[in-house]
Amino acid sequence: MSETKQKHLLIVYHSQSGRNESLAYAACRAAREAESEVEVRLLRAAEAGTRDIAWSDGLLLIFPENFGVIAGGMKDFFDRTFYPVIDRQIVRPFGVLICTGNDGSNALRHLERIAKGYSWRCVSEPLITTGAPNSEHINKAEELGAAFAAGLSMGVF
């Protein structure tokens, strides 16, 4: 009988207003409930680092768009981890959820450029929500968390 390695999902979020935090917690809760074989770690972007990325088998990135770009706290996470991750050749699948007051498209473009530098690949449709999270937004975050955990568990990505 072969032993399967437990998978690890890292959820990194940045939130000033609490909007993205509520979505991150929803995604985390659903990921934990969906797959007992997947260990989930939820960290604020300021707390997450290269070791956490190395620990993970995949990442969910949840953040706002500020002034048409990736929020500074999430950008700081990328700035601190980029070269160490590149040096260690840590390639990961990821998903993204952006909660914004704008359309989020420019922040998504910036993330896509950053992810290309990391050699990461987006394995789910990017989610962009606008305004304060409502029950529909929470449901989408939960679906993303559960689906990502299931994909990791099944070895889809």
Domain assignment present for residue 118? The answer is yes
Per-residue pLDDT tens over the stretch 85-123: 999 999 999 999 999 988 999 999 999 999 999 999 999
Domain assignment present for residue 112? The answer is yes
Distances (CA, A) of 40 to 26, 37, 69, 109, 144: 12, 10, 27, 27, 13
Domain assignment present for residue 105? The answer is yes
Domain assignment present for residue 1? The answer is no
CATH number at residue 40: 3.40.50.360
Domain assignment present for residue 99? The answer is yes
Per-residue pLDDT tens over the stretch 4-23: 689 999 999 999 999 999 99
Query: What is the separation of C-alpha 97 from the centre of its chain, rounded to a whole number of angstroms?
Result: 7
By residue range, what is the domain housing residue 121?
7-154
Per-residue pLDDT tens over the stretch 61-88: 999 999 999 999 999 999 999 999 999 9
pLDDT bucket at 2, cuts 50 / 70 / 90: very low
Residue range 19-47: average pLDDT?
95
Asked if 46 contacts 84 with a C-beta cutoff of 8 angstroms, the reply is no
